[in-house]
Amino acid sequence: MDYEPIPCGGNDPIAQQREQWTDGANALAVAPGVILLYDRNVRTVDELDHRGFRIVAADDLLLGREEVYLEDAGRTCILISSNEVARARGGPHCLTHPLVREDL
């Protein structure tokens, strides 16, 4: 897989600084090309969308309105609610943020 840097906050230096402080660069890769990211980082999400990522809200996955198959998802960004920080005191990339995964 080729790697392509995608700037947090897009190409706007002010948005880059702002979203750096709101965890715009704190993405968690859950499969090749599939990341979790906070929904509050609108400019970063816009840049991912512009670069060909499918943007999916985690709530839509949980409610069955969308599906993502990790083995065949392509470039996908799953947006999690910003209030998750307060619940577990950690971002998606932090070891303190709980994720539910199936047993291997």
67-73: long-range contacts, CB 8 A cutoff, minimum separation 24: 68/34, 70/30, 70/31, 70/34, 71/31, 73/31, 73/33, 73/34
Of 70, 88, 94, 99, catalytic: 94
Q: Amino acid identity, residue 13?
A: P
Is 77 marked active-site?
no
Contacts of 20 (CB under 8 A, 6+ apart): 8, 9
Q: Amino acid identity, residue 52?
A: G
Active site residue ranges: 94
